[in-house]
Amino acid sequence: MFRPAITGTGVFTPPNVITNAELVTAFNAYADRMNAENAPAIAAGEMEPMQHSSEEFIVKASGIENRYVMDKTGVLDPAVMHPLLRQRDDDEPGIMTEMAVDAAKKALAQAGKTAADVDAVICAASNLERAYPAVAIEIQQALGIEGFAFDMNVACSSATFGIQAAADMIRSGSIRSALVVNPEICSAHLEWRDRDCHFIFGDVATATLIERIEDAKGPHFEILSTRCATQFSNNIRNNNGFLRRSRPDGMKDRRDMQFMQNGRKVFKEVLPMVSQHIADHMAAEGVANTDLKRLWLHQANKTMNDFIGKKVLGREPEPGEQPNILQDYANTSSAGSIIAFSQNSDDLTEGDLGLICSFGAGYSVGSVIVRRHMS
């Protein structure tokens, strides 16, 4: 058996920021417009008027202040309310490939490696821009990597499930190294017209290079153990898919073709599931909460992370011990815990232990226990 290690990470951050103030202005203009259009039905009591959103609510309920997106013009146009992306020719790189390649190059540079050092690419994301060919294979070709590539989707937990798949292949010896990439264009499946969730998501891409530990050229994180779990739930759901046109009303502008969630239930059901999962994983590996130097959690909601951090550590986390990036990026689905890891791990020193955990739709939860080595 070989020992796997994370030797490099990279983050692609889209060029456009949407602040809560911009978002709320656009949403409220859309609500006013809808209320004006439907004034007779509202006056007749046949329809409820749309209510305004508020910056105060968004920050208080989620901790989110900004989000990055691939396009902001469509999202902020009350007559559009979704991103507007350029139609690409089949012979040019897809948008997910472009985002993932940028993040992958940063991960390779950090590890001091090139495409020739990589044996496999796993594109693990909550949405894939087409059914086939696999986006991962396009990324593999764009980077000039030999070997093989495949796509996988476990929604917000895709990154940790991808890391487990890569780490297991490295352990068994079928590959020496893999790039796990997470291009997330959440803006395209978010329902920007729904006040309950319009603030939740942003876009980003992350990449993690995993190699045999003896191939690491610089400081790295040994993957000591991974653990994944799933339990079916309809509380986070998106019904869009290839059967759409075959069903009555399938092509209509239906609410369930975008992200839907029962936020309160998610909150109540996922918190105990994740806290127990982490506690069991640590106990199985003989890791006490006093041994953990850092927790890089899925970035969906600040209150959720505060709760999990306190439960796992058995006390209030110290500043920086459980870093949040969601104030800047919002929820970026599978990429969130990897952004937190990438931007908040350089200061750890030899022997320090940390835990990456992502969780979300499915339900699903994945955790990775890592140990820092300086060389």
Q: Which of 250, 257, 263, 273 binds ligand COA (CB under 6 A)?
A: 263
SS3 227: strand
Q: Which of 76, 104, 108, 156 binds ligand COA (CB under 6 A)?
A: 156
Q: In what helix (H) or strand (E) does residue 257 lie, and over which residues does it extend?
A: none
- Minimum distance, C-beta of residue 52 to ligand COA, in the bound complex (Å): 7
156 in catalytic set:
yes
Single out the catalytic residue among 123, 156, 186, 228. Answer: 156
Q: Which of 54, 66, 233, 327 binds ligand COA (CB under 6 A)?
A: 54
347 belongs to the binding site for ligand COA (CB under 6 A): no
Pairing of strands 353-360, 177-185: unpaired
SS3 30: helix
- Interface with ligand COA in residues 317-346 (CB under 6 A): 331
61 belongs to the binding site for ligand COA (CB under 6 A): yes
What Rg, from alpha-carbon coordinates, does the chain have? 21
- Interface with ligand COA in residues 187-206 (CB under 6 A): 195-196
Instruction: Please state the φ and ψ torsions of residue 233, each to the nearest 5 degrees.
Output: -150, 145
Cβ distance 135 to 123 under 8 Å? yes
- Minimum distance, C-beta of residue 357 to ligand COA, in the bound complex (Å): 13
Q: Which of 62, 226, 258, 367 binds ligand COA (CB under 6 A)?
A: 62
Report the residue number, 339 or 370, with the smaller CB distance to ligand COA. 339
Among the listed ranges 131-139, 159-167, 241-249, 260-268, the one in contact with ligand COA (CB under 6 A) is 260-268
Tell me the C-alpha distance between 321 and 344, whole Å.
9
User: By 3-state DSSP, what share of the chain in percent is helix, strand and coil, each rounded to 5?
Assistant: 40, 25, 40
- Minimum distance, C-beta of residue 298 to ligand COA, in the bound complex (Å): 8
264 belongs to the binding site for ligand COA (CB under 6 A): yes
Name the token pair of 357: 């955990």
Cα dihedral value 219, 223, 224, 229, nearest 10: 150
Report the residue number, 62 or 110, with the smaller CB distance to ligand COA. 62
DSSP line for 339-359: HHHHHS-TT--TT-EEEEEEE
Catalytic residues, by residue number, are 156
Residues that bind ligand COA (CB under 6 A): 53-54, 57-58, 61-62, 156, 195-196, 236, 261, 263-264, 266-267, 300-301, 304, 331, 360-361
